Amino acid sequence: MKFKGQVVLVTGASRGIGAAIARAFAQEGATVAVNYLANHAAADETVAACRAAGGDAWAVQADVGDAEAVRAMVDGVVLEAGRIDVVVNNAFRPYAFDPRHRKLFGDVPWSDYRAQFDGAVGAAFNVCQAVLPHLRQRARGSIVNIATNLVENPVVPYHDYTTAKAALVAFSRNLAAEQGPLGIRVNCVAPGLVYPTQASQATPEALREAITAATPLRRIARPEDVAGPVLFLASEWSGFMTGQVLFVDGGLVMK
């Protein structure tokens, strides 16, 4: 899965899953645009790790919830690198995965759903709107959106978050159907609980142990576990796949 000569944009790549994805692409020779919102120091660390892994990288700041900022970012990446081959929509609105403090359905205001929808689907919408004209010009490209296995196995009912990610899957499949004839593929990777990340820090040890016990591979995913399937879906090895969801949860969801 060599990506030498390819340009990859990873959103929310300053830490956690996004940083692991950026490093994995760099290790395969890609030039990586490391998008971040505010933590410039963390983004610089990801850039340094990408370069140490053998690729090239630079940090690009933009709020993916801001359509104008996203257009400026994408245009800047194309101006700097000459092209974009792969987009990974990983950024999402902050969320604490803590079942002890989650809201029951009756307590979840519609504004929480709307905020998560804007963070999941809205951000991917902004990035895809900005990048698709560049991909269509070259009649090729791969978009990988990060969903969650909770859409199939809501082991904890995080109502607003999971509903938004389910909408992201539908968004991705509609885009895959429309853009396929133009040579552009759109797929999703759906991780289970990934630890350690900033979002999963609030997940109690008892729940992590219960998920581990129920998982056929008997462990929790690490950020690096998500990177491999993302690279697969971005590569020519999956060249005849689009509109698919790969579950990366050690076998909790089998389909």
- Active-site positions read 161
Whether the bond into 196 is cis, omega within 30 of 0: yes
State the alpha helices, DSSP H only, in the chain.
16-27, 40-53, 67-81, 110-117, 123-138, 159-179, 205-214, 223-234
Cβ(156)–Cβ(207) under 8 Å?
A: yes
Please give the Cα distance from 31 to 22 (Å, whole number): 9
- Token pair for residue 18? 């996004």
Residues 6 or more apart from 213 whose CB is under 8 A from it? none
- Token pair for residue 55? 């690729």
Cβ(118)–Cβ(67) under 8 Å?
A: no
In 3-state terms, what secondary structure has residue 183?
A: coil
- Phi, psi torsion values for 159, nearest 5 degrees: -55, -55
CB crowding 154-174: b at 16 or more within 10 Å, else e: ebbebbbbbbbbbbbbebbbe
